[in-house]
Structure 1
Amino acid sequence: MQQEEIDKLLQKKHAGNCSPEEIAFLESWYAQWNKDLPLGLTAEELHEDLLAIRKMTSTLPSAAKSQKLKQGLLVAATLFLILSTGLYFYLQSQIKKGSTAYLALHDINPGGNKATVTLANGQKVDLNSLKGGVMIGKSGLAYNDGTDISQIDSAAKGTAQQLTLATPVGGQYHITLSDGTRVWLNATSSLKFPSSFARLKERKVELTGEAYFEVTHNAKQPFRVYTSRQIAEDLGTSFNINSYADEPTIKTTLVEGSMQVQSLKEPQGKQPIILKPSQQASVSITGIINVRQVDTDEALGWKNGEFIFDGEDFKSAMRKIARWYNVEVVYEPGAKASSTLILEGLVSRKSKLSEVLKWIESISSVHFKIEGRRITVTE
């Protein structure tokens, strides 16, 4: 850099027109001459010192001036590299440390009571989210508090209507069927049932998704739940069935009483399995049934307002979270830990999404980013 260019920089500095890069260069150049003095000088002080340095350098041979300027440029470049590198790693660490703060800023509320009832004629009725559930009575459908659902007519005399109760993503609902059987429906689920079981050989209902049943037993009129791969029959029972299409198996967990599970596919299509309390039957895509002893609290956690993970695969847990919070979960290619992560613990389903994800971050190496209703899993 020539002497006249230095003069121009000094004049710009004095006028307050220097760019940050030019100021950094002048201060680093100045520091080479006055290493023991702080750089926190006022504009006037710095200008006076720099002018003094300029006069000193004007008496130096060209080679010496060139060497000094090169040293100044090197120092400025080094300082810039150190600061920018440090800033990058600081920001990266803050992104991870502050990920839950980011999540809170873009938070999503938990699901709640949301459902529709579809009548035999195709009419769809949105149910009140402030009500706890519905029941089938002699006069038709009503809320649990006795409030009639006026859009629904009573079943034609002697003829049962087929109704369907369905919950959306982030919804749940409760229904009491005409025989007194109580059913709790989890998110993204549906239950097809008749308005009356009178004069029917069996009490047949069809389930997609997940539901918990407390069945009013009647040996003369068995209660059967049909899913895509199995038939579950009550023998005096409280049980939970998880039959989501995106799960690898259909899981039937017996809480009380007795029940049998029959696969609709070979090789066990004609061999019902009898379950005892605290046993869980898993039916694979091929129809094979496996039975194991389980903690029923985990299977019923959703009904009781909790996510309970007892050695649960991370991606399975995230599918549950996605259904309840109405979000999409995607995985970054580098998020390898998510493939082997096992979750242990409990968190309330009443929590906001950020609180659930914060809890997972606290016990694992994964991190999350929310963009609208998409959750990206990172490391």
Structure 2
Amino acid sequence: MMQQEEIDQLLQKYHKGTCTATEIAFLESWYGQWNKDIPIALTAEELHEDLLSIKEMTTTLQPEIKHKKLKQGLLVAASLFLILSTGLYFYIHVKNKSAYNLALHDVKPGSNKAIVTLANGQKLNLNNLKGGIVIEDSELTYNDGTPVIPAQKGTEQSEPLTVSTPKGGQYQITLSDGTRVWLNAASSLKFPSTFSRLKERLVELSGEAYFEVKYDAKQPFRVKTPTQIAEDLGTAFNINSYSDESYTKTTLVEGSMQVQSLKDNQVRKPLVLKPSQQASINAAGLINISQVNTNEAIGWKNENFIFDGEDLKSAMRKISRWYNVEIVYESNANSNLILEGLVSRKSNLSEVLKWIETVGNVHFEIKERRVIVTE
């Protein structure tokens, strides 16, 4: 249940000018609710001054009224604040509890965050002000040329490196062969520091990544996950291989590639994908190929959530990873909801959740870093 201290906190934020757009919209909506039957015409400037005065009135009850035509409205505002059991309390708890809760306990979107693990086990936090790293001639630099670690002369042998992103993190990697990789949240990529003198370019993925591969027939590029090996044939593709998903999904955006199951007991030839095709592999290793909307599959890489007939629980798993929150479903939650549409991954969590609320009969509350899904 919302406490008076929370209302007080929001009014203090407004007074200091630190309210978010969502919080300001809530206050203006509340103001309009009780002001709609009072014959007072307010300009935008007067409304702003009126709201700024509410906090002072609730503590002193002796405000200095500069605009006589606002006096009646301000007294009503003070009364509403002091008797939460009536108008304001009813409005917040019955009419706008969800919107206020989401605004008050909002969570910012994920950002560039990752850790690189060197061959000797040393872990380095990558700079979150940088967009990615580049591996070239066994040297590790950021994509603006500044060093991650000082270059070690004479080091030409291949050594294993691992880049891992936490929940709420993403990072870009340019491998030594020029292949570019975008790593989504809660993911990791293990790769050699150089592909020189190796028969193949083999990398290992956990989680999700988008690849733009430099094709070389003499040195094939392969991505290994727990369920499959995907081989580039001149390709841009996305692989989703999270452990909490039922399927490993490989989506070909352009070029050509082949996919082979690692868990199917029967020896089968690799299946070749064409652009806009997706290979889904279940826990038993069975592969299904279908035509898909590639924009949906790589929406995250383009800073969007794109839902194309996706069920609520699948969408909430994506939201959980990107905003680093836990999802809790109450028994009456409408988990069968199907989502269609686009919302920016740059948005705060509250904006994404409010967008989902407009789609169907579902509501959300945020408590610390938990999102509670209810009817």
TM bucket (normalised to shorter chain) is 0.7 to 0.9
Q: What's the CA shift for 1:286?
A: 0.4
Match of residue 354, structure 1, among 345, 350, 370 = 350
Specify the code of the residue in structure 2 equivalent to 1:102: N
Which residue pairs with 1:149 in the alignment? 148
* 1:120–1:344 distance in 2 versus 1, CA, 3 Å: same
Which residue pairs with 2:137 in the alignment? 138
Q: What's the CA shift for 1:363?
A: 1.1
1:236 equivalenced with 2:234 (yes/no) = yes
* Deviation string, structure 1 residues 242-294 (Cα, Å, up to 9, x no partner): 00000000000000000000000124553211000000000000000000001
Q: What's the CA shift for 1:168?
A: 0.4
Q: What's the CA shift for 1:87?
A: 7.2
* 1:95–1:195 distance in 2 versus 1, CA, 3 Å: farther
Which residue pairs with 1:308 in the alignment? 306
Matches of 1:246 and 1:170 in 2, distance apart?
16
Which residue pairs with 2:297 in the alignment? 299
Partner-residue secondary structure (3-state), 1:110: coil
Matches of 1:226 and 1:368 in 2, distance apart?
37
Larger radius of gyration: 1
Q: What's the CA shift for 1:362?
A: 1.1
Matches of 1:96 and 1:104 in 2, distance apart?
15
* 1:192–1:269 distance in 2 versus 1, CA, 3 Å: farther
Matches of 1:230 and 1:357 in 2, distance apart?
34
Which residue pairs with 1:60 in the alignment? none
Partner-residue secondary structure (3-state), 1:319: helix
Match of residue 199, structure 2, among 198, 201, 214 = 201
* Deviation string, structure 1 residues 332-370 (Cα, Å, up to 9, x no partner): 0122x21x1110010000000000000001111110111
**C-alpha contact (below 8 Å) 2:138/2:194 kept by paired residues:** no
* Deviation string, structure 1 residues 110-167 (Cα, Å, up to 9, x no partner): 000000100010000111111111000125100011101126746723x101000100
Structure 2 length as normaliser, TM-score?
A: 0.74
Matches of 1:181 and 1:343 in 2, distance apart?
34
Matches of 2:275 and 2:94 in 1, distance apart?
47
Partner-residue secondary structure (3-state), 2:124: strand
1:175 equivalenced with 2:166 (yes/no) = no
Aligned residues: 290
Unaligned ranges ≥5, structure 2: 1-84
Q: What's the CA shift for 1:180?
A: 0.4
Specify the code of the residue in structure 1 equivalent to 2:353: L
Which residue pairs with 1:367 in the alignment? 363
**C-alpha contact (below 8 Å) 1:135/1:142 kept by paired residues:** yes
Partner-residue secondary structure (3-state), 2:178: coil
Unaligned ranges ≥5, structure 1: 1-85
Partner-residue secondary structure (3-state), 1:173: strand
Q: Percent of aligned pairs with the same residue?
A: 67
Partner-residue secondary structure (3-state), 1:136: strand
Which residue pairs with 1:224 in the alignment? 222
